[in-house]
């Protein structure tokens, strides 16, 4: 809309065309031991939303290993995988969860006593386990947003 309230079409202020430009990209792999590059065929495989990354990566590795046997003259290199990143994130979450639970237990024990701190810790564990059961049943996977939300709720 312009100042007078009239509609302004995109073609009135810009050039509009429908077209496709071929992207010119070259893939290569560098061998660190030799120091030379080799031509490569690269492709990206994405999972469906809500599908487990660990299951996806394991299935993909099994499929690639089976395909390797049919084409022994080719070399297969995995350049990037989210599985390791997710395992690190999950490991850090568990470590932070333990430290936070211990800290909450000690602080509550100082101010409310031993019995109240045990009751709160048991309810704390039940709520967190319930959250993971709920997330699994709804098809959500553990990720940074969920990790941050659970720590924030604490």
CA-angle at 153, arms to 152 and 154, nearest 5°: 90
**Three-class DSSP labels, 18-32:** CCCCCCCCCCEEECC
**Tokens read off for 48:** 């469906």
**% residues pLDDT > 90 (the chain):** 0
**C-alpha span between 91 and 96 (Å, rounded):** 9
pLDDT tens readout for residues 36-72: 777 776 667 776 666 677 777 888 888 888 888 887 7
Number of other residues whose CB lies within 10 A of the CB of residue 20: 5
pLDDT tens readout for residues 73-103: 777 777 777 777 777 877 887 788 788 888 8
The DSSP secondary-structure symbol of 74 reads S
The residue among 45, 40, 38, 85 whose CA lies nearest residue 61 is 45
pTM: 0.47
CB 118 within 8 A of CB 124: no
**C-alpha span between 42 and 28 (Å, rounded):** 8
């Amino acid at each position: 809309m312009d100042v007078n309230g009239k509609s302004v079409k995109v073609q009135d202020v810009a050039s509009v065309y429908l077209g496709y430009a071929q992207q010119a990209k070259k893939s290569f792999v560098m061998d660190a031991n030799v120091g030379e590059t080799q031509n490569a065929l690269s492709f990206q495989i994405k999972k469906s939303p809500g599908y487990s990354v660990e299951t996806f990566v394991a299935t993909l590795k099994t499929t690639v290993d089976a395909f390797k046997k049919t084409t022994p003259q080719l070399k297969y290199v995995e350049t990037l995988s989210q599985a390791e990143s997710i395992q690190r994130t999950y490991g850090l979450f568990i470590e932070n969860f333990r430290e936070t639970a211990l800290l909450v237990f000690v602080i509550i024990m100082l101010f409310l006593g031993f019995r109240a701190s045990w009751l709160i810790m048991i309810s704390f564990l039940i709520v967190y386990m319930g959250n993971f059961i709920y997330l699994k049943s709804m098809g959500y996977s553990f990720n940074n947003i969920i990790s941050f939300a659970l720590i924030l709720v604490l």
